[in-house]
Amino acid sequence: MTTFDINWVRSQFPALAVKVNGFPAAFFDGPGGTQVPQRVIEAISGYLAASNANQHGAFATSRRTDEVLAAAHAAMADLLGCDAAETVFGANMTSLTFTLSRALGRELQPGDEIVVTRLDHDANVSPWTALEERGCVIRWVDIHPEDCTLDMEDLRRQVTAHTRVVAVGYSSNAVGTINDIEEVVRLAHAVGAIAYIDAVHYAPHGPIDVRKLDCDFLVCSPFKFFGPHSGVLYGKREHLQRLRPYKVRPAVDRIPGRWETGTQNHEAMAGVAAAVNYLADLGRRHTPEAQGQRAAILAAYDAIRAYEQGLLAQLVPALLEIPGLTFYGIKEPARFGERVPTVAVRIAGRSPRELAAYLGERGIFTWDGNYYALNLSERLGVEPRGGMLRIGLVHYNTAEEVDRLLAALRALAPRA
């Protein structure tokens, strides 16, 4: 195993050279969308230059398009640990989740229950609460506000004999908590319910194995893991075959095509395969003996996780020493294995917007507000006060960038 080659990583991402007011840009906005390696840009423009067509035609560019789309499905199957036919592309996670909730809704009855959580992004909440129109009952799982973890006892209470769907996030896009998904799936299956997992925020940070999780569905968004704007849904083959999507008649009825409504974003799909390739290359650099694409991807996540944990150990204790700072989420280094490096804070006397604007002027990109984790922001009581400042680290960030961020935040702290 070699040490993490941050210079090679950064050399892959042209956007990291951006400057703002003379400052090099420090991208801590990854949870809203990450930067992309050069090869992703080339795959997108290369597709448009040489293969641009619709699918299933009897001519060269259409045949090349069929190959590009098949490669994108295969790449996502390698990333998620499933078959290519179990991967469905779409505009983004939100659209795919509405597609699925509508299709599932066709077979739900009044009184059927759906479990959602207060930790989740609204894209794994509103598509389910929409089914109240059909008489479904929504049950809410609470959090432990002191460390922003999911209240698993409450989850056990909310899952009943009437539960048909349990919708839970793999990791919080606001405070970074990783949930015990294997246990969530086990609880859902114990009552015959479907487990729908939102892995959008987990995918840039940790390995996903849908077979091991045994989840029924899992969604992610390539633009959060170094690819272009698009969404991908994994569904167990039997569900994708059995459930009835809303579709047009001439479109194929095979999986996964029956779920991919209309013409897809072909150039983005070309870019997704390149993003997965980037991860595999990173893994092979770290673990040259990794055999095959899936093993290389898993090696990449080993390397990413170890490196990110180092940045987290630098960031969190230093944040906690800033006067007037409130930290939301898991803060004990011994428990960092239960979180990804996405942290949310407030500083007394400053709105999160003010903090983000000050940092932004200095080339440090963070988010303020609720980032659509609306129920969490309300539960923590910060929604009426502008939410929280979110600092989202990924593996192309550096210790120097974290130092710059800390120095800038110290300058904003209230004087004693």
Ligand X SMILES: Cc1ncc(COP(=O)(O)O)c(C=O)c1O
Q: State the residues that interact with ligand X by CB under 6 A.
A: 31, 92-94, 121, 123-124, 169, 173, 198, 200-201, 221, 231, 372
| Other beta carbons within 10 Å of 95 | 15
Q: Kindly state the smallest distance separating residue 413's Cβ from ligand X, in Å.
A: 28
Separation between Cα atoms, residue 398 and residue 409, nearest integer Å: 17
The nearer residue to ligand X, 31 or 257, going by C-beta atoms, is 31
Q: Provide the terminal-to-terminal Cα distance of the chain, rounded to the nearest Å.
A: 47
Cα distances (Å, whole numbers) of residue 178 to 7, 319, 339, 388 = 28, 21, 5, 19
The nearer residue to ligand X, 92 or 287, going by C-beta atoms, is 92
Q: Which two tokens stand for residue 226?
A: 């170094």
| Other beta carbons within 10 Å of 287 | 18
Cα distances (Å, whole numbers) of residue 308 to 178, 179, 311 = 14, 18, 5
The nearer residue to ligand X, 65 or 261, going by C-beta atoms, is 261
- Reduced to 3 states, what is the DSSP secondary structure of residue 233? strand
The nearer residue to ligand X, 198 or 216, going by C-beta atoms, is 198
Q: Kindly state the smallest distance separating residue 124's Cβ from ligand X, in Å.
A: 6
Q: Kindly state the smallest distance separating residue 180's Cβ from ligand X, in Å.
A: 16
Q: Kindly state the smallest distance separating residue 389's Cβ from ligand X, in Å.
A: 16
Separation between Cα atoms, residue 99 and residue 77, nearest integer Å: 20
- Reduced to 3 states, what is the DSSP secondary structure of residue 47? helix
The nearer residue to ligand X, 172 or 293, going by C-beta atoms, is 172
Query: Is residue 161 within 8 Å of residue 187, measured between CB atoms?
Result: no
The nearer residue to ligand X, 61 or 129, going by C-beta atoms, is 129
State how beta strands 143-144 and 217-220 pair.
Answer: unpaired
Q: Kindly state the smallest distance separating residue 332's Cβ from ligand X, in Å.
A: 23
Q: Kindly state the smallest distance separating residue 91's Cβ from ligand X, in Å.
A: 8
| Other beta carbons within 10 Å of 283 | 23
